[in-house]
Structure 1
Amino acid sequence: MKEVSILINNLKELLNGGHAHATFEQAVKDLPAKLQGQVPEGMPYSIWQLVEHIRITQLDILEFSRDPGYESPQWPEGYWPKEQAPENAAAWKESITQITNDRKTFIGLLEAPGADLFTPFAHGSGQNLLREAMLIADHTSYHTGEIIVLRRLMGAWK
């Protein structure tokens, strides 16, 4: 169906971002390591905590969407890291890579032959693939904006 194909392409663009604002990848690019765990005055979290929150939440939505037996973490503690900073450069890179890879995997759910965007999952409380795609895009976009604000507060955004 042509309309569904158009919708899937629009969802992919929405998930990858970049039309109305900076992408997640742009927001974290070239961030000095010393700023990844810094919490600016008056702010509740660091950029690392936001990155990890995006990663954990997106993975939760992905797993919920593809596995009826999946159990989500406890809210809110299971969605936010306790650590203010990444353990090392590898942890930072791994988190960002997982966000990118999980987004690609979710897009694969949208592109799968016979993917049904509209029918509620047999599990959950009425969620469907379309809703979950929009939820990932909305959530990531919101927190990407926060990352940019934190970078501005720390003088690390052009």
Structure 2
Amino acid sequence: MYNTSEVKTADKLIREQLVELLKGGFAPNVILLREFTFDKAGVILDGLHFSAWILLGHIHGRHLTLLNFMKDPANNLDVWPEAPWPENHNPENEQEWNAAIDSYEKDLAEMMALVQNPAYPLFEIQQNGKTFSWAALTALHHTGYHIGQLKTIGRQLGVW
């Protein structure tokens, strides 16, 4: 059996590691997005149905669904609704591209702040059977998958 200090240490460690992974681990998501140049954000490569702009909108849309559940679970129980995909494949201008990254970064920071808060009930089961830790893990998994696609597109376009 674990003593109270071991449980507190494990809880803190899990929260710290979850935040590290939400950031993107060794390849932070926001840094990769900021490195992706605006002039290539709307390019759809042959064989794909999305651009970097579409991926960013999709990542952020899903992230918001999960964040809203974490902030107000009683009113946001549907944690996996129809996937949000932007209709336009290209940002209108560089300011829109940067604003979208800023908005995602702000919402990511909000999720990380919740996870870091030792008083936040990360493992409490909600009415839909999910936990906030599940939501955070889902956000990092979903984002990681699509960031990998974005990184591949960027390599093909000469961003990296």
Deviation string 1:52-77 (CA, Å, 9 cap, x unpaired) is 1111111111001111213769513x
Q: How does 1:60-71 map to 2 (within 5 A)?
A: 60-67=65-72, 68-70=74-76
- Of 113, 130, 143, 1:127 maps to 130
Judge conservation of contact 2:15–2:116 (CA < 8 Å) in 1: yes
Root-mean-square deviation (CA), in Å?
1.7
Which of 145, 154, 157 is the matching residue for 1:151?
154
Q: TM-score, normalised by structure 1?
A: 0.87
Q: Which of 29, 32, 43 does residue 27 from structure 1 map onto?
A: 32
Q: Deviating runs (4+, > 4 A) in structure 1? A: 71-74
How many residues get paired? 151
Amino acid at match of 1:141: G
Gaps of 5+ in 2: 1-7
The two structures have a TM-score, normalised by structure 2, of 0.86
**Percent identity for Structure 1 against Structure 2:** 26
* Selected match of 2:104 from 99, 104, 121: 99
Q: Which residue of 1 aligns with 2:14?
A: 7
The question of whether the paired residues in 1 share the 8 Å contact of 2:41 and 2:91 is answered with yes
In 2, are the aligned partners of 1:23 and 1:144 still within 8 Å (CA)? no
